[in-house]
């Protein structure tokens, strides 16, 4: 039973009826006659609260139409008109009921991965909830045909959704999260087999009959393998986007103003858990929404627009979490956004559960690389906290310093605060492996095909054959000497000499004096490093030094 509790010092409000043209008056008349016939409303002559009737267009689903410029734009076609009551002043004076609605993502995860489903829909759900006798007169409304009040809970009251959800959960309290999910007037029944689903359906229908809950047979579906729940397709395979809603966006033209851009981002943002790097991809578009920014839809915006549409069309199937397996969190931070992916490895495969991302503010963009990477980890654990608390978590990051930072006792105060926030989790940090790096940090792993050849030639250097006597005595095959000429870059020359020497000089390691010669060569190279202008000792000088060895 619905109650309307008002604030103590609230003054009542009586509003006059609004003018309606003949076509709209006919809509109101038909609705009044229908509600009077079924006993949902009754005439009333005196009330401290009177609200006016308002007629609004009744719109269908989102579709794509052509405008005057032959551009395809999303719109909702008008299928008719419907009567509603303007209860805004009554709602301002009403004490708010904060009964919560279930989280959509958690409910979808409980529904997914079952072979059979039954979907039930309540018939005029709000009208099945009675109003307390003391509060009926507060629902009074005025129209050209009189003043009426509701016996049943109408649409437009601020606490009506909370009351309806409370009633449904109290009716099915022993079934919810066991084999049934309830979101307002949408009931979803599931089972692990055909027989289990059928037995669960019988229990739900028996409870509806017991509580006099009426269902809409035209919107009910029985014993199916998949279905649409709150804009998502659920099945044994997992959670998918509703293809009917995505197909509308395929032929969309780029937005021509801020309003159209907000509409597109709102539609795409509803499915952002399916889109990897959503914030990073949509950054050129969101930049156009900033204050005092001229709307110029350039090539970067067009590229982001097409990427988001492609990502929605090819969105992956998300898997519900398995609480018996550890979670894997993939993190990657860029200069303007942070991105995280929640995954699990089951059947030797990594399954995506949730994609999350957000842009950095102006202060966070100035953070050092280590700070951004740790901020990304903190963001991931705040976003995925309901999944990760009490579970084993492996964090994969391409910034190896985080592994040691988690164990460091003294650091910046900001980093210490973030590390303290992570203490409640069972975390193990690992560097990303190549096989596990298919999610984040794409830009740093783009292959550049325009290779620059390495010049390994020795500038101003010549290779000569050594005389037979020297070659035979010490096993050397070539001599490297520097010709006279201008000084060259000592680092380049030395690196070239080292490379050429290691490639073209072979030494007989069995000779007893080879170690002495190696030391002498190292000394010569060291002398060249100190002063590149000095020539390397010629072979004749080495011959003179030979008797001294």
Per-position DSSP letters for 387-425, written without gaps between them: HHTTSEEEEEES-THHHHHTT-SS--HHHHHHHHHTTTS
What is the token pair recorded at 129? 């909830």
Per-residue model confidence (pLDDT) at position 39: 92
Q: Do 41 and 147 meet the contact criterion of CB atoms below 8 Å apart?
A: no
Mean pLDDT, rounded, for 442-456: 40
Is the pTM higher than 0.75? The answer reads: no
Predicted confidence at residue 453, as pLDDT, reads 46
* Residue 376 pLDDT > 60: yes
Given this model, what pLDDT does residue 488 score? 43
- The model's pLDDT over 159-168, given as tens digits with 9 standing for 90+, comes to 999 999 999 9
User: Measured between alpha carbons, how far apart are the two ends of the chain, in Å?
Assistant: 109
Q: Tell me what percent of the residues of the chain surpass a pLDDT of 90.
A: 36
How far apart are alpha carbons 227 and 248 in whole angstroms? 19
d(CA 166, CA 173): 10
More confident: 265 or 519: 265
Q: Kindly tell me if the per-residue pLDDT of 470 is higher than 50.
A: no
Residue of 460, 360, 374 lying closest to 420 (CA atoms): 374
Number of helices (H) and strands (E) in the chain: give both, helices first: 18, 19
**Diameter over CA atoms, the chain:** 130
The residue with greater pLDDT, 274 or 531, is 274
Q: Which residue has the higher pLDDT, 66 or 346?
A: 346
Per-residue pLDDT at 444 exceeds 80: no
Average pLDDT over residues 150-177: 93
103-107, 215-219, 366-370: least confident range: 366-370
pLDDT for res 467: 44
In this model, does residue 114 exceed pLDDT 50? yes
pLDDT, position 373: 85
pLDDT value at position 161?
Answer: 92
pLDDT of amino acid 431: 74
pLDDT at 515: 66
For range 67-92, the mean pLDDT: 78
The confidence score (pLDDT) of residue 511 equals: 56
pLDDT attached to residue 224: 94
Q: What is the pLDDT of residue 516?
A: 67
The secondary structure element, H or E, covering residue 27 is helix 22-38
367-376, 483-492, 510-519: segment of lowest average pLDDT: 483-492
| Residue 473: predicted pLDDT | 44
DSSP 462-529: EEEEPPHHHHHHH---EEEEE-SSS---HHHHHHHHHHHHHHH----TTSTTHHHHHHHHHHHHHHHH
Q: Give the pLDDT of residue 51.
A: 94
**Average pLDDT of the segment spanning 362-366:** 88
pLDDT over 80 (residue 75): no
Q: Is the per-residue pLDDT at 477 higher than 60?
A: no
Digit-coded pLDDT (tens) for 51-63? 999 998 876 655 6
Inform me whether the pLDDT recorded for 147 exceeds 90.
Answer: yes
Better pLDDT: 144 or 245:
144
Least trusted range by pLDDT, from 131-140, 168-177, 356-365, 431-440: 431-440
129 in Cβ contact with 167 (< 8 Å): yes
Q: What is the tens place of the pLDDT at every residue in 22-45?
A: 889 999 999 999 999 999 999 998
Per-residue pLDDT tens over the stretch 383-408: 999 999 988 998 887 766 777 776 66
Percent of the chain past pLDDT 70, that is, above it, reads 74
Residue 168: per-residue pLDDT: 93
Work out the average pLDDT over 82-89.
Answer: 92
- Tell me, what's the pLDDT at 328? 92
Q: Among 24-38, 265-279, 308-322, 394-408, which stretch is predicted with the lowest mean pLDDT?
A: 394-408
Distance CA 386, CA 157 (A): 32
* Average pLDDT across the chain, whole number: 79
Q: Residue 530 pLDDT > 60, yes or no?
A: no
């Amino acid at each position: 039973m619905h109650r309307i509790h008002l604030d103590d010092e609230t003054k009542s409000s009586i509003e006059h009826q609004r003018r309606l043209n003949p076509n709209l008056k006919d809509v109101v008349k038909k609705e009044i006659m229908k509600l009077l016939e079924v006993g949902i409303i009754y005439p009333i002559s005196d009330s401290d609260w009177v609200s006016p009737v308002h007629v609004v267009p009744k719109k269908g689903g989102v579709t794509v139409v052509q405008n005057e410029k032959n551009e395809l734009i999303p719109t909702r076609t008008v299928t008719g008109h419907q009567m509603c009551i303007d209860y805004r002043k009554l709602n301002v004076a009403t004490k708010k009921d904060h009964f919560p609605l279930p989280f959509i993502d958690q409910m979808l995860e409980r529904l997914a991965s079952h072979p059979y489903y039954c979907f039930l829909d309540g018939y005029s759900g709000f009208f099945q909830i009675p109003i307390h006798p003391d509060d009926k007169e507060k629902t009074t409304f005025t129209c050209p045909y009189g003043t009426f009040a509701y016996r049943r809970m109408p649409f437009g009251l601020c606490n009506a959704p909370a009351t309806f959800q409370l009633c449904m959960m109290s009716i099915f309290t022993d079934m919810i999260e066991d084999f049934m999910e309830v979101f307002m007037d949408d009931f979803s029944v599931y089972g692990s087999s055909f027989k289990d689903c059928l037995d669960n359906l019988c229990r739900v229908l028996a409870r509806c009959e017991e509580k006099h809950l009426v269902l809409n047979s035209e919107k009910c579906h029985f014993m199916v393998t998949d279905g649409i729940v709150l804009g998502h397709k659920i099945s044994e395979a997992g959670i998918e986007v509703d293809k009917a809603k995505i197909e509308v966006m395929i032929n969309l033209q780029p937005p021509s103003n801020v309003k159209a851009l907000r509409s597109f981002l709102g539609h795409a943002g509803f499915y952002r858990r399916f889109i990897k790097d959503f914030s990073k991809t949509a950054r050129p578009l969101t930049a156009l929404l900033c204050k005092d920014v001229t709307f110029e839809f350039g090539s970067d915006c067009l590229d982001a627009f097409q990427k988001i549409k492609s990502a929605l069309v090819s969105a992956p199937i998300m898997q519900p979490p398995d609480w018996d397996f550890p979670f894997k969190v993939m993190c990657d931070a860029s200069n303007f956004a942070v991105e995280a992916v929640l995954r699990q490895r089951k059947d030797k495969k990594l399954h995506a559960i949730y994609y999350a991302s957000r842009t950095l503010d102006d202060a966070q963009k100035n953070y050092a690389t280590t700070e951004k990477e740790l901020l990304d980890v903190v963001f991931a654990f705040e976003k995925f906290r309901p999944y990760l608390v009490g579970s084993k978590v492996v964090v994969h990051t391409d910034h190896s310093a985080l592994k040691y930072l988690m164990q460091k006792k003294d650091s910046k105060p900001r980093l210490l605060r973030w590390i303290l926030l992570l203490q409640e989790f069972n975390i193990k940090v690992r560097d990303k492996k190549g096989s596990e790096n298919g999610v984040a940090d794409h830009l740093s792993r783009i292959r550049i095909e325009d290779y620059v050849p390495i010049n390994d030639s020795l500038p101003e250097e010549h290779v000569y054959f050594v005389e037979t006597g020297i070659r035979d005595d010490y096993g050397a095959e070539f001599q490297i000497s520097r010709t006279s000429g201008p000084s060259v870059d000592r680092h380049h020359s030395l690196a070239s000499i080292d490379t050429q020497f290691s490639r073209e000089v072979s030494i007989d390691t069995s000779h007893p004096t080879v170690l002495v010669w190696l030391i002498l060569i190292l000394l010569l190279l060291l002398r060249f490093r100190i002063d590149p202008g000095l020539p390397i000792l010629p072979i004749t000088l080495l011959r003179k030094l030979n008797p001294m060895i």
